[in-house]
Chains A and B, each alone.
Chain A
Amino acid sequence: MKKIKLFPLVMTVLSALYTISTVLSEDFKYQVDTVGGDPGGKILPLIMGGFLFLGFLFITIKERPEGKKMDKETIVLFLVTLFLSIAYVALIRQIGFVLVTSVLVYSLLYLYTTIGEKRSIAQASIGGVATLAGTVGFYTLMRLISKSVIRMGRSGALPSFFGKSTGGACIALLFVVIVTVVLTFTLVKILSKKGFNRPAVAGIITFATVLFLYVVFKQFFQVNLAPGLIKY
C-alpha cells in the first residue's frame, strides 16, 4: 500500500468537516435587508471550504512522503516543548505567570543547553527548585521595594515621579538589572566552577527573563498577568 502524506490528508478531512458544517448551519442573510440581493454569509465560506477540500485532496493523492524523518533527539525536544507549552496554557491561570513561566523557561533552557551532553535529573531538579525559589524571593523583594517607593513618592518623601506606577516600574527594572548582574558575576561563576554550569546559566536567564517581562508588561503596560498562587 502506498504511503500518504499526513498534513494534506488532515487538511482534507478538516476542510470537508468545515464545508459540511457550513452547509448544515443556518444562513446569515442580513435580516433587515429590504432591497434584497445579499448573497448571505455562507457563500464565501462554502467556496473556500470546497476549494480547500478539492485542493488538499489532489495533493494527498499526488504527493508521497519523502522519507525524511526527525532524529530521536529532535523528537524528544519537540515533544517536551509541546508538552510544556500545553501545560503552560492550561496552568497559567491557576498557578500564575511568575511560577509557570519560570518552570517553562528553565526547563527548556536546561533541556536545550544540554543537547549532546549527559543530563543529570538530580542536578536539573535542584537547579529548578533553586531557580523557582530565587525568582519568587526576588520577585517578592522587588514588589516590596517598588510598592514602598510608590508610597514614599505619594507621601512626598520622594519626588512625585516615584509616586506614579511608571516610577515604581523604573525602580523595579533597575532592581532586576542590578540583581542579574550581581548574580551573574558571583553565584553563577561559583556554581559554574563547581560543575553546576548548565543549571546555573539556565537559572539566571530564567530569573532575568521572568522578572523583566513582569516589569515591562505588568508594571509599564498594566497588563493583568495572571497572579495565580502569588497574589501580591
Chain B
Amino acid sequence: MGDFAQGFQMVANISTLLWCAFGTVLGIILGALPGLTATMGIALVIPISYSISNTATGIGLLISVYCGAVCGASIPAILLGIPGNPNAIATVTDGQLMTKKGLAGQALGGAVIASMIGGLGSEILLVFFSPLIAKATLAFGPAEKTTLALVGLVIIASVSGKDILKGLLMGALGFVFAFLGTDPISGACRMPFANALKKTVLAGGFDMTSTLIGLYGVSQVFAELANLSKPQNTDVATNIGKVFPPFKKVLSMWQIILASLGIGTIIGAIPGTGASIAVFMAHDSASKICDASNGKLDKPGTGCLEGVFAPEVANNAVTGGALIPALSLGIPGDSATAVLIGALMINGVTPGFQLFSTNMPLVYSIFITLFIANVFMGVFQLAGIRLYPKVLLISQRILMPIVLILSFIGSYALAGASIPKGVFNVGTALFMGLVGYSMKKNGYPLAPVVLGFILGGMFEENFRKAVKLGAGTMERFVTSPICWVFTLLAVVIVVSSVLKNRKEAKANNA
C-alpha cells in the first residue's frame, strides 16, 4: 500500500493532469489525421516528456498520446471511411454505413465509450498480470535474457511484414545500430573507420530518440509526398446528431464487449501481433455472437453499433495488453509500445523485473496515468465530438511541413544546451528518415529495426555475460531449459511464418 501511495503522490499534481490532458487531445488529433500514427505521435513527444522533470508525468504524457491516438483513429474511419491508422480498420464498414444512415453521432459516441471500456478493462488485467510475469523473470539469468530478446525480435519480424527474411534483416540492422558507438564492456569505439570518427560526434553512435523520430516522423513526410497531389479532404459529414447510443443497447452488447476485451488484451499481450489483428478477430467474434442471439443483436457489417463496438473495445484493450510484456519483460506488443519502451529508457526507466522490484511506486504511477489517460480520452473525445471532424479538413499539404519541423526540433531539443549535439541529432533524424522511407518503399518493416535498436544493448551485454559465465563456451545456453523453450519458440515462429508465406504465394499463383 505504501508503494501505491508513493506512486499516487508522484502523479497527484496539476502538472500531471494538464500534461495528460494535452497528450490525450494531441493523440486524438494525431490519430484522427490519416497518415499520422500513434507511433509517430509518441516519437514526436519524447523530447517533451524528457524535458519534464517528473518522470511519471513524462511517461503519463506518452501513454496519453498512445491511448488518444488509438481512439482518435475511429473519427475518420466513421466519417470518411478512411481509418486514421490500422487500429481502426475494422470500424470503417459499420461506421461509414451508420454515417450514411444519419447516425454519425451515435457511431462516434459509441466508439468513444467502447474505447474507454477497452482501455480501462485491459488495464485491470495489466495491473494483475504484469507483476506476476515480471516475478517469473526472476529465474532468468543472462542466457535466458539473451534468448528472450531474440524471441521478441523474431516475433516482431515474423508479423510486421509479409516476408520474414526482411523482418529478420531489419531486426539485425537494429542490432547493428545499437552496436555502433561505444563497446558496453570495454568502452572502445566501435564505429566503422573508428580512427577517423572517434573524435567526432559520431563516436557515440546514433542517438536513440533522433533515430525513432527519423524513422517514424521524417520518413512519413517523405512517404506522404506521393499522396500530396491527390485531392485533399474538403467535405466531412458535420451533421453529427445524437451522440450517446441508447444505454439499453449498450447493455445488450455485454457479450460482444467482454469477448472483444478478452481478444484485445490477449492479442495485445502477444508480442508483435498488434491491434490490426485484434480488431478483425473481435469483429468476427461479434458476428458469431450476433448470429447466436436470435435477432436480438444486429449483425456487424450492416451499419450497426455492434460493428463499431467490437473493434473499438478490442483496439483500446490492445493498449493495456501490449503494456503487459512491455513493462514486465521489456518486449513490446506492437510498434507503438516499441517506441514507448525506447522512450521509457530515455527517461531512465528500464522495463523488466528490476523495475517492479526496485521502483514499484513508478510502476503504480504508470498504472494511474494509464487510468487517467483512458478517462481523459473518453471525456475529451466526447466533449469535442462535434469539433474533431473539422480537424479532418486540415490538408496534408499543410500538415507535412509542420510534422517535418516538429521532427527536427524534437530531436534537436534532446541535446539541451549543446548546439553541436543538437545539430547532430537533427542530421541523425534526417538520415534515419531517409533510411525509413527507403525501407517503407521497398516493403521492409520498421518495427524490428526499432526493437533491435532498443534490445541490442541488453542482448549483447547478456550474451557476453552468459558466455563469460560459461568460461568462453555456450554452455549456459545449452544447459538452460528456459533457453531451449525460447529457442524452440523462435524456430517454430520462423518455420510457421515461412510455411504461411509459401501457402499464400501458392494461393496467389493459383
- Add 13 more A-B contacts to A52-B176, A77-B225 (CB < 8 A): A7-B438, A21-B193, A28-B190, A51-B172, A52-B169, A55-B165, A58-B165, A59-B165, A77-B228, A85-B218, A209-B402, A213-B409, A224-B422
Chain B residue, CB-CB nearest to A106:
B401
Q: Which of B104-112, B244-252, B412-420, B485-493 contacts A (4 or more CB under 8 A)?
A: B412-420
Across-interface contacts of A30 in B (CB, < 8 A): 185-186
Q: Does A221 contact B (CB under 8 A)?
A: yes
- Contact residues of A: prevailing secondary structure: helix
Across-interface contacts of A17 in B (CB, < 8 A): 192
Q: How far is the CA of A104 from the CA of B416 in the complex (A)?
A: 22
Contact with B along A52-83 (1 / 0, CB 8 A): 10011011000000000011011001100110
Across-interface contacts of A113 in B (CB, < 8 A): 395, 397-398
Across-interface contacts of A101 in B (CB, < 8 A): 405, 409
Q: How many residues of B contact A (CB 8 A)?
A: 68
- Contact residues of B: prevailing secondary structure: helix
In B72-95, the 8 Å CB interface with A consists of: none
Partner of B185, one of A11, A41, A77, A81: A41
Across-interface contacts of B419 in A (CB, < 8 A): 93, 224, 226
Q: Which of A32-40, A150-158, A173-181, A183-191 contacts B (4 or more CB under 8 A)?
A: A32-40
Are A78 and B222 also in contact (CB < 8 A) when A39-B464, A115-B228 are?
A: yes
3 nearest CB pairs, A to B: A21-B192, A108-B401, A37-B472
Q: Does A8 contact B (CB under 8 A)?
A: yes
Q: Which residues of A contact B (CB under 8 A)?
A: 5, 7-8, 11, 17-18, 21-22, 25-26, 28-31, 33, 35-39, 41, 44-45, 48-49, 51-52, 55-56, 58-59, 70-71, 73-74, 77-78, 81-82, 85-86, 88-89, 92-93, 101, 104-105, 108-109, 112-113, 115-116, 201, 205, 209, 213, 217, 221-226
Q: Does B206 contact A (CB under 8 A)?
A: no
Q: How many A-B residue pairs have CB under 8 A?
A: 180
29 chain-A/chain-B pairs, Cβ below 8 angstroms: A7-B444, A21-B192, A22-B192, A35-B468, A37-B467, A37-B472, A38-B468, A39-B464, A41-B183, A44-B463, A52-B172, A52-B173, A55-B172, A71-B226, A71-B229, A74-B228, A77-B228, A88-B426, A101-B409, A104-B404, A105-B401, A105-B405, A112-B400, A113-B398, A115-B229, A116-B229, A209-B402, A213-B405, A224-B418
Q: Which residues of B contact A (CB under 8 A)?
A: 48, 51, 165-166, 168-169, 172-173, 175-176, 179, 183-186, 188, 190, 192-194, 218, 221-222, 225-226, 228-229, 395, 397-398, 400-402, 404-406, 408-409, 412-413, 415-420, 422-423, 426-427, 430, 434, 438-439, 441-442, 444, 459-460, 463-464, 467-473
